[in-house]
C-alpha cells in the first residue's frame, strides 16, 4: 500500500526520511519542528545553520542524526491567509519538492506530517486533502512508500458534511440489521478505540502457502482443468462419486472464473494497464504480480475492494468480484457500509475513501 495514513509521532518512525514542517530560517521552532530537533539532537541544528534558510514551498535535506531514520527533509509550508494568496500552490510544492528530494536520495519510505495545519493555520481538512491528492498523484508515477502521519485526532477531519452523510448512511443500514434485538443500537456505541497506531512495515499480501502451485496463466486461457477427483467404488464396485450422478469431476469442470481471472478481464474491459490499475488501487507492484501469477490467488478483503473501486465497478459487480475471493458486503460491517456508500454515490477516489475509513476507525483500502 504505497500511502498509509497513520496516527503516530513522526520522530518515532524508522523511515528512510521524515519530513519536517519547518520555518524559513530552518533554525527550529515548536510543533513537529521542535519535536524533530529535540529527537535528532544538536547536530541537526548545526547542519541546518549551514543551509542558510529555505523559501516557502521549497525543501532541503539533512541527515537524521539521532533519529531512527537516515534523513530529515525540511520544507516550509505557507501561512494560511484565507486561501487567496497562493497558499494551496505553495503547499502542493512542499509535498512535491520533498518527494523529489526523497527520490534523489534513493529513499524507499518517507513520512510526512500534515504540513501547515498547526501553527501556520491551514484548515486541517483542506491540508489533508492537498497532502493526499499531491502524494497520490506523485505515486502514480513513482515507486515509494509514504506515511501520512496524523499526530492528534483534531488534525484529522474529512469535512463535516461528508462525515455526517456517511454517519447517517451507516446508521440507516446498521440499525436496520440490529433493530430486531429490541434495542436499535447505533454503531457508535460499539466504536472501539482507534486501530492500533501502526508504523509497521507494509504488510505483504499473504499467498496461501502450499495450498496452490504458483500457476502462471494467460488471462485468455480457460482455467486449468481441475485435478480429477478421487472417487471410490461402492460395494457393487461402481464408481461412487461424492456429488450425486454428475460426480465431483463434472462439478469441478464447471468451476467459475477465479478472482484473478475476473480482475484481469475487468482491467482489459476498462482499457487499463496493470500498472494503472494497481497504482490507483494503492497497491505495490510485487503484490499485483502475485495476483497476476496465480489463478487461485486469495486476496484480503481490503485488497479486493480496492480493485473494485479502482475499476469503478457497480455495486453488483463489486459483490461478484468479492464473492470470487470468498467475501461479501455486509450491513453488519461499517467498513462494508462505507464502501457501499461511496459506490452508490459514484465516488471511486481511493484516497478519499481511505480518509473516510480512517475517520470512522476502519482499516484502509489496499494491501
Ligand atoms: N509527529 C507528527 N506530527 C506532529 C508532531 C509529531 N511529533 N507534532 C506536531 N505534529 C503535527 C501537528 O499536529 C500538525 O498537524 O504536525 C502538523 C503541523 O503542525 P506544526 O508543527 O505547527 O507545523 P506548521 O503548521 O507547518 O507550522 C510551522 O511551526 O513549529 C513551528 O518552526 C515551525 O514556524 C514553523 C511553524
Mutate to test the pocket of ligand 1, among 113, 152, 199 (most ligand atoms within 8 A of CB): 113
Is the per-residue pLDDT at 95 higher than 70? yes
Question: Residue 187's pLDDT is what?
Answer: 40
CA distance 170 to 187: 8
Q: Going by C-beta distance under 8 Å and a sequence separation of 6 or more, which residues neighbour residue 216?
A: 293
CA of 209 to the centre of ligand 1 (A): 44
138-188 pLDDT tens trace: 988 898 999 999 887 655 656 666 667 777 777 777 645 554 344 334 443
Is the per-residue pLDDT at 218 higher than 50? no
Q: Closest ligand 1 atom to the C-alpha of 33?
A: 30
CA of 358 to the centre of ligand 1 (A): 20
Catalytic residue among 9, 16, 33, 250: 33
Q: Report the pocket of ligand 1 as residue ranges, CB < 6 Å.
A: 9-11, 21-23, 29-35, 77, 113-120, 149, 151-152, 155
178-217 pLDDT tens trace: 543 443 344 433 333 322 323 333 222 332 333 323 333 3
CA of 15 to the centre of ligand 1 (A): 18
Query: Once rounded to an integer, what is the mean pLDDT over residues 78-96?
Result: 97
CA of 336 to the centre of ligand 1 (A): 34
Question: Residue 254's pLDDT is what?
Answer: 67
Instruction: List the residue whose alpha carbon is closest to atom 21 of ligand 1.
Output: 31
Whole-number percent of the chain with pLDDT over 70: 74
Question: Residue 365's pLDDT is what?
Answer: 77
Q: Is 33 tagged catalytic?
A: yes
Instruction: List the residue whose alpha carbon is closest to atom 35 of ligand 1.
Output: 23
CA distance 336 to 305: 9
Q: Going by C-beta distance under 8 Å and a sequence separation of 6 or more, which residues neighbour residue 366?
A: 1, 2, 4, 281, 282, 283, 302, 303, 306, 350, 354
Verdict on whether the full-model pTM lies above 0.85: no
Amino acid at each position: 500500500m504505497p500511502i498509509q495514513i497513520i496516527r503516530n509521532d513522526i520522530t518515532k518512525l524508522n523511515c528512510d526520511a521524515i519530513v519536517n514542517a519547518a520555518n524559513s530560517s530552518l533554525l527550529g521552532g515548536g510543533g513537529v519542528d521542535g519535536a524533530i530537533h529535540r529527537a535528532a539532537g544538536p547536530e541537526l541544528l548545526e547542519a541546518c545553520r549551514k543551509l542558510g534558510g529555505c523559501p516557502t514551498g521549497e525543501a532541503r535535506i539533512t541527515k537524521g542524526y539521532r533519529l531512527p531514520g537516515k534523513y530529515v527533509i525540511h520544507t516550509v509550508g505557507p501561512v494560511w491567509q484565507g486561501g487567496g494568496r497562493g497558499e494551496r500552490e505553495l503547499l502542493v510544492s512542499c509535498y512535491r519538492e520533498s518527494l523529489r528530494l526523497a527520490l534523489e536520495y534513493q529513499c524507499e519510505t518517507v513520512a510526512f506530517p500534515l504540513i501547515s495545519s498547526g501553527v501556520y493555520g491551514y484548515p486541517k481538512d483542506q491540508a489533508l486533502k492537498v497532502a493526499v491528492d499531491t502524494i497520490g498523484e506523485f505515486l502514480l508515477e513513482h515507486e515509494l512508500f509514504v506515511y501520512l502521519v496524523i499526530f492528534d485526532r483534531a488534525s484529522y477531519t474529512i469535512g463535516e458534511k461528508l462525515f455526517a452523510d456517511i454517519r447517517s448512511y451507516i446508521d440507516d443500514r446498521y440499525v436496520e440489521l440490529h433493530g430486531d434485538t429490541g434495542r436499535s443500537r447505533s454503531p457508535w456505541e460499539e466504536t472501539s478505540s482507534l486501530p492500533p497506531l501502526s508504523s509497521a512495515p507494509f504488510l505483504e499480501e499473504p499467498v496461501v502457502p502450499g495450498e496452490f502451485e504458483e500457476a502462471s496463466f494467460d488471462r485468455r486461457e480457460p482455467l486449468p482443468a481441475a485435478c480429477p477427483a478421487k472417487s471410490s467404488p461402492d460395494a457393487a464396485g461402481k464408481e461412487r462419486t461424492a456429488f450425486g450422478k454428475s460426480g465431483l469431476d463434472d462439478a469441478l469442470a464447471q468451476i467459475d472464473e477465479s478472482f484473478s481471472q475476473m480482475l484481469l478481464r475487468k482491467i482489459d474491459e476498462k482499457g487499463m494497464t496493470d500498472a494503472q490499475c494497481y497504482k490507483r488501487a494503492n497497491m505495490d507492484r510485487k503484490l499485483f504480480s502475485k495476483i497476476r501469477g496465480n489463478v487461485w490467488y486469495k486476496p484480503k478483503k481490503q485488497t479486493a475492494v480496492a480493485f473494485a473501486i479502482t475499476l469503478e465497478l457497480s455495486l453488483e459487480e463489486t459483490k461478484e468480484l468479492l464473492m470470487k475471493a470468498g467475501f461479501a458486503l455486509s450491513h453488519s460491517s461499517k467498513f462494508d457500509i462505507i464502501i457501499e456508500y461511496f459506490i452508490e454515490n459514484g465516488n471511486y477516489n481511493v484516497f478519499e475513501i481511505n480518509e473516510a475509513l480512517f475517520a470512522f476507525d476502519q482499516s484502509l483500502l489496499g494491501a
